[in-house]
Amino acid sequence: MKTISVLLAGVGGQGTVLASRILTHVALRQGHDVKVTEIHGMAQRGGSVVTQVRMGEKVYSPLIETGQADYIVAFEQLEGLRWLHYLTDKGTMIVNRQRINPMTVLTGAAVYPHDALTQIRVHAPRTVQLDGLAMAKQLGNLRVINVILLGALAKQMDFPKEDWLAALEATVPPPFLELNRQAFQAGYAA
């Protein structure tokens, strides 16, 4: 089988790491070889963060290159735009409509691109947009945006839904499992 590449892009603190853990769990349940790479350290202090997941029969490089991502899950508009050129021509972009201003915008040194979502839609015809922040508010916990987005990703990928739910069970601590199940379902239905 062809190697599948999924890129998760967000802002430090948004929970991309847990999302990638759940995703890799699902891939492993399919018997795939999996490689994941992410950058720690300085990048975590509210900076851009990206986790790259590759899965298939045999995966060599953990790196996804430009034009190679089959799926991008953007936890924030601007981060979606930043990584857009990594998407394959037929790739799917899942983008959270949330906006988080970087310091460069807050200080007035740069302008937040007001048409980020439009640009994404133009270059990625297969784009799924959702308002993760509002959905998470409805569920009563802002920290489940990551799992909402994962639900939307699950809908687009070919893995069985029960494997996703099993992966949730294996990675989320019991007290938060039900909440995360709801978040996943909300994203799946969006």
Partner 1 sequence: MTKALLTGNEAIARGAYEYGVAVAAAYPGTPSTEILENIVKYKEILAQWSPNEKVALEVAIGASIGGARALCAMKHVGVNVAADPLFTFTYTGVNGGLVLVSADDPGMHSSQNEQDNRTYARFAKIGLLEPSDSQEAKDMVGHALAISERFDTPVMLRTTTRISHSKSLVELKPRQDRTLREYKKNPRKYVAVPANARVRRAIKELHWQEMLAFSEQTKLNRIEWADRKIGIVTSGITYQYVKEALPNASILKLGFTNPLPLKKIAGFAQQVEQLWVVEELEPFMEEQIRSAGIRVHGGKAQLTPIGEYSPSLIRQAILGLETKTKPSAAVPPRPPVFCPGCPHRGVFYVLRKNRKLVTGDIGCYTLGAMPPLESLDTTICMGASIPAALGMEKARPDQAHNIVAVIGDSTFLHSGITGLVDTVYNGGTTTIIILDNRTTAMTGHQHHAGTGQRLQGEPAPEVDLIALCHAVGVKRVRVVDPHDLASLDRAIKEETAVREPSVIIARRPCALIVKPTEPRRCVNHDVCTGCRMCMGLGCPVISFADKKSSIDPALCWGCRLCQQVCPFGAIGPEEVQ
Contact residues toward partner 1 (CB under 8 A) are: 11-12, 24, 28, 33-48, 59-63, 65-67, 78-79, 81-82, 84-85, 87, 101-113, 119, 123, 142
Nearer to partner 1, 59 or 152 (CB): 59
Residue 29 beta carbon to partner 1: minimum distance, rounded to whole angstroms: 12
Torsions phi, psi of 37, nearest 5? -135, 140
DSSP letter for each residue of 24-73:
HHHHHHTT-EEEEEE--GGGGTTSEEEEEEEEESS-------TT-EEEEE
Residue 189 beta carbon to partner 1: minimum distance, rounded to whole angstroms: 25
Nearer to partner 1, 67 or 189 (CB): 67
Residue 187 beta carbon to partner 1: minimum distance, rounded to whole angstroms: 20
Residue 65 beta carbon to partner 1: minimum distance, rounded to whole angstroms: 5
> How many residues are listed for the chain in this entry?
190
| Three-state DSSP state, 88 | strand
Using an 8 Å Cβ cutoff, are 142 and 136 in contact?
Answer: yes
Q: Which two tokens stand for residue 86?
A: 């990594």
CA atoms of 134 and 42, how far apart (whole Å): 29
Nearer to partner 1, 35 or 188 (CB): 35
Nearer to partner 1, 24 or 188 (CB): 24
Residue 188 beta carbon to partner 1: minimum distance, rounded to whole angstroms: 24
Return the closest-CA partner of residue 149 out of 73, 98, 86, 81.
73
CA atoms of 27 and 188, how far apart (whole Å): 18
Nearer to partner 1, 81 or 94 (CB): 81
